[in-house]
Amino acid sequence: MTDLSEQQKLEIERTKLAVDCIKHITTLATASLLAVPVILEKFTKTDPNLYVLKRGVLLMVICIGACSGYLFAVGVAPREEIWRSPPRFLVQLLMIGAYVTFFLGIIAIVVFAISNVK
């Protein structure tokens, strides 16, 4: 077994933390999608504006896709070179995309819920 340098150990720990964050975002995005039917049946308005809700659901689906792509890209790249190898830009882009789409999707679902309650 080879001994890893401190820098390599740091890179591995950084990757583990990033993967854990992405797993949590994936779980929250999936739960948000599953909560949409529950939210819809609680509304009192007879004609809710579904445009904002559709955008929120679309953003959550894109978030889950970005999370899946991130986990795939991290799994394919060599462990000790994940942040230095050519897919670095792709990995960072997928991570940023997952966070941004999750944040915007949550905002859209909350705006929809607030605008359609009494």
Question: Which pLDDT tens digit goes with each residue over 5-63?
Answer: 887 788 778 878 888 888 999 999 999 888 888 877 777 666 667 888 889 999 999 99
- The amino acid sitting at 101 is T
d(CA 30, CA 27): 5
Report DSSP letters for 41-81, one per residue: HT---SS--HHHHHHHHHHHHHHHHHHHHHHHHHHHS-GGG
The answer to pTM > 0.85 is: no
Tally of CB atoms within 10 A around 70: 26
Residue ranges per structural domain of the chain: 6-115
Q: What was the pLDDT predicted at 41?
A: 78
Encoded tokens for 1: 């077994």
d(CA 73, CA 102): 19
By the 8 A CB rule, do 106 and 32 touch?
yes
Question: Which pLDDT tens digit goes with each residue over 70-97?
Answer: 888 877 766 555 555 556 778 888 889 9
